[in-house]
Structure 1
């Protein structure tokens, strides 16, 4: 699990990333990111809607995979960003190892690693 200082929690933070941030499209998720004015640690939020899977177990698995991908790379992520990962329906059929690699590749693609 991510430490609290690395998590996005408020609706305002999610809305700011959505309205002012940039978006990178991956095969299994979208990565929205926004550069904050401060140099605090980068924070991450995760969204998995009912469109991804009807079963809560599958949605939780998808969220855990994305969260683990971020957790494995959190020490190398640049400071001062808010990021939101929004799962796509294809993520429900992926192995966690594939999701971990895809999260790392997405962070590299947007120059956060």
Structure 2
């Protein structure tokens, strides 16, 4: 689970990242990245709308996204704010597909270094 300091919690921060951040569109997610002018540790936020599915499905998708980000938090660039919006196809996507997609998004947007075993 992500620590409280690694999560985006305010609506203003979410809006700032989504409106002014760079965007990476994947098959199952849309990832927004913005560098926080205050610096600090990387922070992650998640948007999983009702179009993804019922409450159980949305929470499953959110937990999967959090687990992927938890793996990336140590190697993420300091001061990066990341918001991940789940698309409806994320509900049926395998965990490995979500992980690969977010790895590509993080590498392309400079959140984490490009892995040596480029997927």
| TM-score, normalization by structure 1 | 0.93
1:28 aligned residue: 28
Residues 54-93 of structure 1 aligned to structure 2 (within 5 Å): 55-93=54-92
The answer for unaligned runs of 5 or more in structure 1 is none
| Superposition deviation, residue 103 in structure 1 | 1.6
Q: For the aligned residues, what is the CA RMSD?
A: 1.0
| Superposition deviation, residue 91 in structure 1 | 0.5
Q: Secondary structure at the match of 1:51?
A: helix
Equivalents in 2 of 1:104, 1:22: separation in Å?
16
Matched, 1:107 2:70: no
Matched, 1:17 2:17: yes
Runs of at least 4 residues off by over 2 Å: none
Equivalents in 2 of 1:65, 1:82: separation in Å?
18
How many residue pairs match? The answer is 112
Equivalents in 2 of 1:39, 1:20: separation in Å?
16
Equivalents in 2 of 1:39, 1:4: separation in Å?
16
Q: Secondary structure at the match of 1:34?
A: strand
Equivalents in 1 of 2:95, 2:20: separation in Å?
30
Equivalents in 1 of 2:58, 2:14: separation in Å?
19
The answer for unaligned runs of 5 or more in structure 2 is 113-119
